[in-house]
Chain A
């Protein structure tokens, strides 16, 4: 019998594929990575099987500090999708990591009137299901 008290997660879950699975598995361990090309040295996000600059498949994973700044954001007041409609308003942002790549995320533990472009933020992990952990960000402490 499933646990009746288990709270159902309503928001859409990522469709994880073999190309991106290591990234999602690292999140489950509460670790944030980006990729670096072993051939030309360029960093990239999101994860892909080959470098976008030289097409080399030789890739290493670089552990991120989990710190960055808000590049741009929006506070959403209307979204009919289950899971989101219960959590309005919510803040969505592109965060530029200290390593120099941008990542889409939700800004949490932050009121809409507090969020600003350039604001330092840090990653905070949310285990939304046994299989999926999301990388959200909150104001840096």
Chain B
């Protein structure tokens, strides 16, 4: 059964906060839901499905949130696979709606990870932790080891990685709610201090508060809503880990989830007008672009150079400024889907990608250098 174009994103909302010591994560999620419902003209009474993950809530947090908002949904999804969770929630909602499990599903997120200084997406308790935490694994360190291996195998340079950060900052300068908006140069990135070699401070995402929400419904129901629907064409999910000690660390989840999404969407790479590609670190972008098949393994460094990723370049990505400059409350998948939807609606003002008809969203959760999830969506306004 093909799910292509049976369901669509009809409402999105990005919470403008980047620091909210006065709010709870549930409050940010609830405010985001209000915004996303206003965006499409539906009310909370229309919602019969809920998906949620968070930085400071456990796997059962969704029950508490239903209590908080007095929701009694017919369909719930508390999938927690790190930052890519909301991309996966969107895919699951599409399947649930197509299967008749619910009609209007909200995907919600609220986080106070910056102001409360607590809670990660991880949650611990997994067997592999005991073989890693004694050695001082940090999130940056795990990605840095991917970067080191990439440089070793392919000759990728710190200058090439820096290009990603520079482009994201340019995009952030055109996004009024982005956290860091002053332009930076490759030299700025290279002269920022090393956090975990070879990654510099400016190779790393920011830490902010934030939140957002999505409203997903059937193509039929979408017809009489406020805005032009954004159709879900194809989805894919995957996991990568140490693979009993045998893994090639440059083979990441995106290779599997991307292939599935392209097959299910029935489109090719040449059809993609823009990408929302998880940028927890500069190397994350390079590795994902290769594994999604936008360039060959080893060509990612050259691919991201020369302004190709700019909103007016050959392959625009992360036009909101990304996790490197706009917003990264430990989990960023929500913002990937929101900005892709805004681009496909033509709502992005100075950073709007011209003739944007098909967008690809890819999220990574966890850590590329240890174990992680990947989730891909292909979306279209037609």
Contacts and interface: CB of A to CB of B under 8 A. Distances in A.
Nearest to A12: B133
A45 B136 contact: no
Contacts, number: 121
Contact of B145 (A13, A20, A79, A93): A93
B141 A102 contact: no
B249 A104 contact: no
Interface in A71-114: 71-79, 81, 84, 87, 90, 92-94, 100-106, 112
B154 to A, nearest CB: 12
A102 B242 contact: yes
A90 B246 CA distance: 25
B158 to A, nearest CB: 13
A15 interface: yes
Interface residues of A, number: 47
B54 to A, nearest CB: 23
A48 interface: yes
A42 interface: yes
Interface in B226-258: 242, 244-247, 249
Q: Count chain A CB atoms within 10 A of each CB in B130, B249, B369 and give the residue with the most.
A: B130
B196 interface: yes
B222 interface: no
Contacts of A101: 244-246
Contacts of B136: 11, 76, 79, 81, 84, 87, 90, 92, 106
Interface of A: 11-17, 19-20, 34, 42-46, 48, 52-53, 71-79, 81, 84, 87, 90, 92-94, 100-106, 112, 117-118, 128, 132, 134
- Of all A-B residue pairs in the complex, the 3 with the closest CB atoms, nearest first, are A101-B245, A14-B130, A74-B144
